Amino acid sequence: MTIPRDLASGALILALSAFLWGVTTTFDSDPLGMEQGMPATHMPRLVLGVISGLAVLMMIQSVVRGGGAVGAPPPWRMPATAALLATAAALFTTVGVPIAFFAVCLCLPPLWGSRNWPAIAAFALGVPAAVHVVFKILLGLRLPMGPLAALGL
């Protein structure tokens, strides 16, 4: 019996998420009523919870669809995607989160073969806008805005 690749990857993601969740328990908590927006201990846990949920969904889909076996080398697009995401993360403080997300959302679909330019443009504009609304406006987090800070965003 072979283990589906997504099942192994999902288990690794869940293990890493559990470890990082444990790390968040060592964070200092803000005194009651002193935090602005979401406390520093909650944001990483929210992100790790979403990542874990998506990993479980990926694992379920792999079992249902019978994903490929572990051992085959990943396609060249996977390391290219990792490099793109790492570059965007490194540039968050310089260009700001919205511009970095815009660039990633503009580059990823063509990298993976999509050529539906109107949908790519809508995706590239919609994701940073949604991130801004949810995290900056609703949750009150102070995201690095880069050059857009001059516009009062």
What string of pLDDT tens digits covers the 153 residues of the chain?
Answer: 567 778 888 899 999 999 999 998 887 776 555 556 666 677 788 889 999 999 999 999 888 887 666 666 668 888 899 999 999 999 988 999 999 999 999 999 999 889 999 999 999 999 999 998 988 888 787 888 889 888 876
Q: What is the pLDDT of residue 106?
A: 96
Looking at the whole model, is its pTM more than 0.75? no
Q: How buried is residue 10: exposed, middle or buried, by Cβ count under 10 Å (0-12/13-18/19+)?
A: buried
Cα(85)–Cα(132) distance, integer angstroms: 18
